[in-house]
Amino acid sequence: MPKNQYGPADKAAVWGEDVDQNRSNPRPKAISDVIVHFWKKDSMDRREALAMFDNGNRFGPLIALGTALRLGFRLRDFADNSRVLQGIGGVEIITAGSIKVRYYLDDDHDRLHETDFHVLENLAGDYEANLPTEDIVEDPNVVPLVAITVAKKRAPTEEELKSLEDRIREAEKAADRAEKERETRKAAEKDKRAKGKGKATA
């Protein structure tokens, strides 16, 4: 099992509080424990994850969508054909696009299903996805690991698409400004250090 790259505070959110990472046979995933995989197409993590699932290990390098958003992951870094909007100040990350999700159904706990997962911010600020909700058993005793609202897929309205496009443009501009500011600060710090060394050797 690969080393968890997150700090202690994040482990419970990533792995689930009732999961012992050192167990050789972790508990089967409950039906509402929907896990979203963030994989680059040919990445080592993807190959390792597939191997782990083949061997019955249902955790591995997985991360819940809500946790990924809180940790600041950008879907465009991990999945094809996806877009990310980031709020001013980096407080909020909103996703729009398609990613892959794997899940279990009620009558088949041993077979992992995979489908394209369309994520779209709705007007309430929640997330909607095209996971087949009619096949999923709601278990009040299980806390889902993915902080989203699961609903049947619907086509976005023209107004929503325009709003998303506008926010994408604004987010990209904000990201460009932030990057330029970081570069300016780095250059100023480097220049300051160089001047300090020059005075010390004078």
Model pLDDT, residue 178 = 74
Contacts (Cβ under 8 Å, ≥6 apart) of 101: 34, 35, 36, 37, 114, 115, 117, 129, 131
How confident is the model over 62-82, as pLDDT tens digits?
A: 334 444 444 444 433 333 333
Residue 195 has pLDDT above 60, yes or no: yes
Domain ranges of the chain: 8-154, 157-202
Tell me which of 42-46, 136-140, 169-173, 180-184 is least confident. 136-140
Confidence of residue 168 (pLDDT cuts 50, 70, 90): low
What torsion, rounded to 10 degrees, do the Cα atoms 59, 131, 129, 70 define?
-10
> In which element (H, E) is residue 114 found?
strand 108-121
Q: Is the pTM of this model over 0.75?
A: no
Q: What is the mean pLDDT of the chain?
A: 46
Token pair recorded at residue 23: 């167990």
How confident is the model over 106-165, as pLDDT tens digits?
A: 455 555 555 444 443 333 333 333 333 333 334 333 323 232 333 333 445 667 556 656
